Amino acid sequence: MTAHPRTRKSLAAATAATAALALAAGCASKTEDSSDAGDKDKKVFTVGYSQANNAEPYRAQLNKQLEYFAKKYDNLKLLPIADAKQDNARQVSQVQNFIQQKVDVLIVSPNEPDPLTPAVEQACQSKIPVIILDRDVKTDCYSSFIGGDNYQIGKQAGEAAVKALPDGGSVGEIRGLLSTDPQKQRHKGFMDALKGHDDIKVVEQREGKWLQPEGTKIMQQWLARGTKIDLVYAHNDPMAIGAQSAAAGAGAKGKDIKFIGIDGLAIPDGGIRAVQQGKLIGTYLYPTGAEEAAKTASELAAGKKVEKKQTLDTVEITKDNAEDIYKQYDMSQKVD
């Protein structure tokens, strides 16, 4: 019964996709023919991508975008994405598999920096160009690092908090898993932005472990404690939305609290929609880097030089630009 709903939906999607394909085939057939004919200059390069964990909505979105953007480059063929399921050992062996298969370009989103470092060095020694996506490794032996700037995001969120509290006020911070690097940067940036604004105080801080129900529970406990909170800064959108639902459920006590999140995923359940619905006053796009990764892979395959470190800017998402940003990053119509 449960498989049924999605099946019916994907059936409709499949029909639509087939129609689209039939249309596209007319245009695409020409290029396919020429590559099949063995045009020597136009070799197709295989790209292997090792993903830390498919089951996080952010990473699921990254995968979709990468598949979409990789298709835009004729010289790239993206192999099926390897999912490490948050397991370092599994990811190391998946990277080694790609090395064995002699992929032309390797993209890695490390689950954790240290355990993946030797595997990346192995790839580097096998003369495979490596793109590190999103999380860092502890070696220089790669071609390019692409990632967002969590410190900058935290800082912009802090500046937004200052703007949202012109008369000062109290802030509650719901932090990601304390041991993770994005958490540390998002916290540090935020605190730095508050420096010099003595009338704004962070009165509560808890670890929400990136999880939505934790955000709800923590907000309820803060309200029970009777702490006066004017604004909640959560290190990701799910925790912010979870906290918002707790405040909304608490009636008058939680009525005027403002919420800021991070991620800005263009999915129906994501932060951009939450901004449009007025649950959050703003969220900060944490760029997936998929577009840049595909471009860099194509350049590497063509033997071009690429930039060693590509830091991606965030975008502040408010009610004004939410719809445009959603359309720009929405993948539901672009890949199935």
Distance CA 177, CA 174 (A): 10
Q: Is 226 in the site for another protein (CB under 8 A)?
A: yes
Residue number with CB closer to another protein (110 or 242): 242
**Angstrom distance (rounded) from CA 328 to CA 75:** 24
Out of 238, 264, 282, 287, point to the residue binding another protein (CB under 8 A). 238
Cα separation, 111 vs 109, whole angstroms: 7
If binding is defined by CB under 8 A, does position 204 make contact with another protein?
Answer: yes
Interaction of residue 225 with another protein, rule CB under 8 A? yes
Applying CB under 8 A, which part among 111-119, 156-164, 213-221, 284-292 lies near another protein? 213-221
Q: Name the segment binding another protein (CB under 8 A); options: 34-42, 53-61, 94-102, 123-131.
A: 53-61
Identify the three-state secondary structure at position 207.
strand
- Quick one: tokens of 224? 């029970």
Pairwise CA distance, residues 21 & 42, whole Å: 23
Residue 77 φ then ψ, to 5°: -130, 110
Nearer to another protein (CB atom), residue 129 or residue 172: 172
Instruction: State which residue, 81 or 281, has the beta carbon closest to another protein.
Output: 81
The C-alpha atoms of residue 296 and residue 304 are separated, in whole angstroms, by 9
Exposed / middle / buried, residue 18 (Cβ in 10 Å: 0-12, 13-18, 19+): exposed
Does residue 57 belong to the site contacting another protein (CB under 8 A)?
yes
Instruction: Tell which one of 149, 192, 207, 330 touches another protein (CB under 8 A).
Output: 207
Residue type, 255: K
Binding site for another protein (CB under 8 A): 1-3, 5-6, 9, 54-57, 59-61, 63, 178, 204, 206-207, 211-213, 216-218, 220-221, 224-226, 238, 241-242, 245-246, 248-251, 267-270, 273, 277
